[in-house]
Amino acid sequence: MKRKLLLLLFTFSAYTGFSQNNYLDFDGVNDNVTVAGSGNLLSSSETISMSCKVFPKNDSPSFPAFNGFAGYRNDSNFDFYLIQLTSTEVEARFRNSSGVGYTLTYDGLVLEEWNHFFLVYDGSYLTLYLGDQEVASVAASGSVPASNSSTFKIGNIQYSSFNFYHQGYIDEVSLWSKALTGTDISTIMYNNGEIAAPEGETDLKLYYKFNQGTAYGSNAGLTTLTNEMGTLNGTLNNFALTGTTSNWGSEEELATNNFMTSKVSIYPNPTSSQIHFSGFSEINTIKIVDLAGRVILTQEEIKSQTATVNVADLTSGVYFAIINQSETIKFIKQ
């Protein structure tokens, strides 16, 4: 395997082809991706790895609302995950089939920038890499259970009754039934963070490139995250799939600021009575729409940079505010 990856390294040194470079934009409220049937992908494995590329935006996560990146967690006989604890601190954990957990932390996460993590368990150590640099390690032992009750998730790690939803972007998620070596990781990073030939990697179980959708366009029907390995696609849950958040995004647009960068906001979110809108150049119309697409409330001819809508009479649940027929923001009515 190492020989094949080194060959790919030299092959790609002379290749700079173009590829779509999208990601998913998670709103931090309840967006997440679940992979049905993923529980026993790593059954009885003694070495495992996971990677994810994250662009975190939450500058003050805290319990019970940490920021979940990706992985498994059942707090019983198998954990393998990455979460954001503070504005700069990341936690990684492997829990073996005997219920023994091994945890490491890394204080070097950078907000509003891409951080590409690799979490590797090789049978003796749990190691975290940022890019191809080792940043934390702890001695560990044991294996994955033969039967795992948890599901692989992206953008959410659940602890007891609490959901740690991610706020920001996620790209390039992979799961392996082997321990990636430093050479493996360097090869991936050399190829712009992508796995060059996933179809030839027999130990690669899940690989999501996120290269789908129209960046911040109308993606209402695009609720499946494609696994490059051909099976076990992910399911998008609770995404708005339209507008400049809770949707498919593009690194090209992120780099060139082609999408809205003004400090638009709605607050409080969640809300029990009123919801306030600010940061817009001008608000003309606001429509409140439920998950079925029905228009519940409408305010027209506002012609102001701020607005307030009374949602006290709405039943509890998830809604979308459509501003000026173009900008969609999700909120929760308590």
Give the start-to-end residue ranges of the domains of the chain: 2-14+21-256, 265-333
Element (H, E) at 7: helix 2-12
**Where residue 11 falls among pLDDT bands split at 50, 70, 90?**
very low
Calculate mean pLDDT across residues 313-321: 89
Range 163-168 average pLDDT: 97
Of the pLDDT bands very low, low, confident and very high (cuts 50, 70, 90), residue 271 is confident
How does residue 265 score in pLDDT terms, banded at 50, 70 and 90? low
For residue 206, which of 233, 174, 184, 180 has the smallest C-alpha distance? 174
Q: Looking at residue 264, what is its pLDDT?
A: 59
Q: What is the pLDDT of residues 124-164, one digit of tens each?
A: 999 999 998 899 999 999 999 999 999 999 999 999 999 99
Q: For the residues 166-174, what does the mean pLDDT come to? A: 97
pLDDT band at 252 (very low <50, low <70, confident <90, very high): low
CATH class of 2-14+21-256: mainly beta
Contact of 229 with 206, CB cutoff 8 Å: yes
Which stretch of DSSP H or E encloses residue 186? Answer: helix 182-190
Instruction: Report whether pLDDT(168) > 50.
Output: yes
**Residue that has been written with the tokens 């030939």 in this structure:** 197
For residues 230, 235, 240, 245, the Cα torsion angle rounded to the nearest 10 degrees is -60
Average pLDDT estimate for 61-88: 97
Q: Fold identical between 2-14+21-256 and 265-333?
A: no
Q: Quote the pLDDT of residue 326.
A: 73
Please choose, from the candidates 134, 155, 153, the residue with its C-alpha nearest in 3D space to the C-alpha of residue 54: 155
CATH superfamily placement of domain 265-333: Immunoglobulins (2.60.40.10)
pLDDT the model gives residue 20: 60
Is the pLDDT at 194 greater than 90, yes or no?
yes
Q: At residue 259, does pLDDT exceed 50?
A: no
CA angle at 7 for the pair 5 and 12, rounded to the nearest 5°: 95
Query: What does the pLDDT read at residue 270?
Result: 78
Q: What pLDDT shows up at residue 303? A: 84
Query: Is the pTM above the cut of 0.95?
Result: no
Average pLDDT over residues 215-231: 95
